[in-house]
Structure formats: structure tokens, C-alpha cells
């Protein structure tokens, strides 16, 4: 019997150059590890294959890093191995992340022919000065070329990532950039706020006063400007930072936001399966070493008890603009939302941060700006 579906995340941690704001598990200058890393990924898949052989894979997300930086040979091995090991549903969503400067028409055609049916391109900003300040390796014109190549290759489901709250960014920058991207008609656009994370070049610059950022009010103005422009142009605002034309919400990410199961493969990848969350060792070297010895590279397992699962479901699902369905919550946990979180919901509704329409609770416009404060209320 086929059990629940499964989402697969595959992490490829290689980049041509580290962006100054980036704290993802990604590295430049480790290209010589690419071959052994792909081999290690294949071993990791095989180690899970018996346990998960009854699961149908409904979505695959190849993220990074810059997956497209690995080139055709490595990506071909990876995609062939995934298909050999896992049962992939027909029509599964298969996304690959890409950065302008790491793409060619040949690579895009190859990916499309291999069954990759969704492309997520990191643009981040349109202004050349801002891109330079972020340490990005590309210009807007390169992105535009790459986008057009993706269409020629056959991709009809493309996401473009943008960022707000960037150094030197103005209202005009944001407005023009969102408009320029909308004019290309991607099926999906994400708009993320810059966060200054430790262990990044931006953190050092921020601490030493060299990084001047828009203030919080400006950053919120940028966000709401982007939201309004996208909605006016037919994009549905379906998650705090995500917008899609009808029918193009990211199915893979919906699995995270609905707090469903996924398997993460690769260095530092996180998983949630059979009531356990676990994550892999971060460095590619150690990851490869463990898999060469046929050991799973898992660093730590955590059992998720019922109250944690309920809390996680609340703060993940509240990221969705449609919010949390009372019926779905009851179907999943056998308890009503009010039994478990009645007091919290009442308080957040009275503060104007949540809206309760009887069937669902969701973030208000003010709640979208203060989402983290709302999520804190549901922590066990
Ligand atoms: S390309 Fe992406 S993963 Fe790589 S350093 Fe830049 S932001 Fe990080």
C-alpha cells in the first residue's frame, strides 16, 4: 500500500562567490568536492530507499547554494539517481534554484528535458549599484537574458526572488524593480526582507556602522508597495513573502507551510518524517566522509510531541494568507482550535493582529508586519 506522499529537498551548497548577506550553508572555492558530493548524495538516497520505498514523491526542490553552478554532468547524475531510487509521481513539481551568471540556454534546455518543470531565479534587486553592494555576480540585463532563455527552453513556471530593505534601496528602486519583473510575467514572485545574520560580511559591516539600511518604516513601505503592485497585476498574495499567478503557488513550499513531511538530502539539510525532525551535518567535507563510510550524516534527531506539532502547525500555517482552517486543525489533531489556543486567538484578535471569520484564523494587515510576535504566542 502506498503511504503518505513525500517532498524531497536536495541541497547543493556550491556558489561561484559568497554574497555579502548570505548565511545559507553555501561555499565558494570548494568546486573540487562537487563530484564526490554528488556521489555522497546518491549513497544517502540509497540509505533511505528501503525505509521510504512506499512513499510517492510529490515534489522535489533542488536548492542551495547555486544548483545550476554544478553544470550538466553533475546535475544529470543527480537527476538520474533520484529517479532510480525514488518513486516520483507523474506531474510532480520539480524545482531547481538558479542564479543569473550560472545559466546557459544549453543547461536550461537540458534541465527542462530532464523533467525539471519549475525554475526559481535569484534576482534580488534590479539596480546595478545595489546588486554590487550585495556581492551578487550578475546584472539585471543578465537576469533578463537568462529569463528569456528559460522561456525558450520551455519553462512555463518560473519564480523570481526579490529582496527589500537593502542598503541604498529607495521607494523608487523598489517600485521600478517590481514593475520590471512583473513586465516579464513570471508565474511566481517572492519578496523577502533582508535580515542581517551573524557570520556574514554584512553583519561585520553593520556592527562597525558601515552598512546603512532603510529604517523599519521604510522597509514596511517597500513591502506593502510590492504587495499592492503584485496584487494589482493579478498575483495572488498567498504567503507572507510569496505571490503567484492563479494555479502557480509553489507546491513544495506549501508542504512546509502546512507542516507536512519532507526528506532533506545533502549537507545541512533538514527533514521531518514519522514524527521526528532531524538535520544533517553542515560541512560538505564531513557529509562526504560519513557517506563514504555508508553512515547517515544525521547530526541530531528530535521527537516532535503533540503540543509541539500543534504549535508548529499554527505558526507555519499562519504564514499563509488564508491562515489556519478550523476544520483541518480538528481533522489533524482531534481537538478544536479553541480548545487548544482559544485564549491566544482571543488576545491576538483583540489586538488587531489576527482575523477570525469563524472558519479560519489569519493574520491581519498589521499582523503581517508583526508576524513573529504573533507566532511567539503559539510557542509551547
Ligand atoms: S548565490 Fe545564493 S546561496 Fe550563494 S552565496 Fe549568494 S545568496 Fe548565498
Q: Which of 122, 161, 282 to mutate to test the pocket of ligand 1 (most atoms within 8 A of CB)?
A: 122
Q: What's the CA gap between 329 and 136, in Å, rounded?
A: 42
Does the pLDDT value for residue 58 go beyond 60? yes
At CB < 8 A and 24+ separation, what contacts does 228-231 make? Answer: 229/175, 229/178, 229/179, 229/182, 230/178, 230/182, 230/189, 230/191
Structure pTM? 0.96
| 202 class by beta-carbon count within 10 Å (0-12 exposed, 13-18 middle, 19+ buried) | buried
Count of Cβ atoms closer than 10 Å to residue 276 Cβ: 13
Domains and CATH numbers, the chain: 6-257 (3.20.20.70), 324-376 (no CATH)
* Residue 52 pLDDT: 87
Taking the centre of ligand 1 as the mean of its atom positions, its distance from the CA of residue 158, in whole angstroms, is 18
Residue among 354, 379, 362, 371 nearest 192 (CA) = 371
Does the pLDDT value for residue 1 go beyond 70? no
Percentage above 90 pLDDT, the chain: 96
Taking the centre of ligand 1 as the mean of its atom positions, its distance from the CA of residue 15, in whole angstroms, is 6
Count of Cβ atoms closer than 10 Å to residue 18 Cβ: 16
Residues linked to residue 324 through DSSP beta bridges, in sequence order: 361
Taking the centre of ligand 1 as the mean of its atom positions, its distance from the CA of residue 65, in whole angstroms, is 5
Taking the centre of ligand 1 as the mean of its atom positions, its distance from the CA of residue 11, in whole angstroms, is 12
State the first-to-last Cα distance of the chain, in angstroms, to the nearest integer: 35
Does the pLDDT value for residue 309 go beyond 70? yes
Report yes or no: 304 and 275 within 8 Å, Cβ to Cβ: yes
Taking the centre of ligand 1 as the mean of its atom positions, its distance from the CA of residue 25, in whole angstroms, is 9
Nearest CA to ligand 1 atom 5: 18
Q: Which of 12, 16, 23, 26 to mutate to test the pocket of ligand 1 (most atoms within 8 A of CB)?
A: 26
Q: Which atom of ligand 1 is nearest to the CA of 124?
A: 7
Q: Is 26 in the pocket of ligand 1 (CB under 6 A)?
A: yes
Q: Is 18 in the pocket of ligand 1 (CB under 6 A)?
A: yes
Q: Is 64 in the pocket of ligand 1 (CB under 6 A)?
A: yes
171-208 tens-digit pLDDT: 999 999 999 999 999 999 999 999 999 999 999 999 99
> Is the Cα dihedral 48, 53, 55, 56 positive or negative?
positive
Q: Is 68 in the pocket of ligand 1 (CB under 6 A)?
A: no
* Residue 116 pLDDT: 98
Q: Is 100 in the pocket of ligand 1 (CB under 6 A)?
A: no
The three grid cell numbers given for residue 35, joined into one nine-digit string: 563530484
Report yes or no: 318 and 324 within 8 Å, Cβ to Cβ: yes
325-360 tens-digit pLDDT: 999 999 999 999 999 999 999 999 999 999 999 999
Q: Which atom of ligand 1 is nearest to the CA of 13?
A: 3
Amino acid at each position: 500500500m502506498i503511504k503518505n506522499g513525500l517532498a524531497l529537498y536536495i541541497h547543493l551548497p556550491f556558489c561561484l562567490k559568497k554574497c555579502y548577506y548570505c548565511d545559507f550553508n553555501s561555499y565558494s572555492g570548494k568546486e573540487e568536492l562537487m563530484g564526490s558530493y554528488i556521489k555522497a548524495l546518491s549513497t544517502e538516497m540509497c540509505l533511505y530507499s528501503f525505509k521510504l520505498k512506499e512513499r510517492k514523491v510529490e515534489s522535489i526542490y533542488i536548492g542551495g547554494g547555486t544548483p545550476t553552478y554544478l553544470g550538466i554532468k553533475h546535475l544529470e547524475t543527480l537527476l538520474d539517481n533520484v529517479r532510480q531510487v525514488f518513486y516520483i509521481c507523474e506531474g510532480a513539481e520539480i524545482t531547481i534554484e538558479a542564479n543569473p551568471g550560472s545559466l546557459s540556454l544549453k543547461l536550461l534546455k537540458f534541465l527542462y528535458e530532464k523533467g525539471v518543470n519549475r525554475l526559481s531565479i535569484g534576482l534580488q534587486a534590479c539596480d546595478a549599484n545595489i546588486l554590487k553592494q550585495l556581492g551578487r555576480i550578475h546584472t539585471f540585463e543578465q537576469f533578463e537574458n537568462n529569463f528569456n532563455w528559460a522561456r525558450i527552453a520551455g519553462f512555463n513556471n518560473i519564480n523570481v526572488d526579490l529582496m527589500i530593505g537593502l542598503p541604498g534601496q529607495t521607494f523608487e528602486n523598489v517600485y521600478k524593480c517590481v514593475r520590471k519583473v512583473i513586465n516579464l510575467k513570471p508565474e511566481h514572485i517572492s519578496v523577502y526582507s533582508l535580515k542581517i545574520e551573524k557570520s556574514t560580511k554584512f553583519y561585520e559591516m553593520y556592527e562597525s556602522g558601515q552598512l546603512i539600511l532603510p529604517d523599519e518604516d521604510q522597509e514596511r513601505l517597500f513591502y506593502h508597495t510590492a504587495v499592492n503592485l503584485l496584487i494589482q497585476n493579478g498575483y495572488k498574495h498567498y504567503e507572507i513573502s510569496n505571490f503567484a499567478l492563479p494555479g502557480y503557488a509553489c507546491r513544495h513550499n506549501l508542504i512546509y507551510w502546512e507542516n507536512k513531511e519532507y526528506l532533506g538530502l545533502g549537507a545541512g539539510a533538514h527533514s521531518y518524517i514519522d514524527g521526528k525532525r532531524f538535520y544533517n551535518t553542515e560541512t560538505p567535507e564531513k557529509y562526504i566522509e560519513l557517506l563514504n563510510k555508508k553512515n547517515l550524516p544525521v547530526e541530531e534527531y528530535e521527537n516532535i510531541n503533540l503540543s509541539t506539532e500543534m504549535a508548529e502547525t499554527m505558526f507555519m500555517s499562519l504564514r499563509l494568507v488564508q491562515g489556519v482552517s478550523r476544520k483541518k486543525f480538528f481533522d489533524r489533531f482531534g481537538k478544536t482550535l479553541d480548545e487548544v489556543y482559544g485564549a491566544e486567538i482571543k488576545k491576538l484578535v483583540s489586538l488587531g493582529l489576527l482575523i477570525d471569520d469563524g472558519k479560519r484564523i489569519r493574520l491581519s494587515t498589521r499582523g503581517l508586519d508583526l508576524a513573529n510576535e504573533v507566532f511567539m504566542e503559539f510557542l509551547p
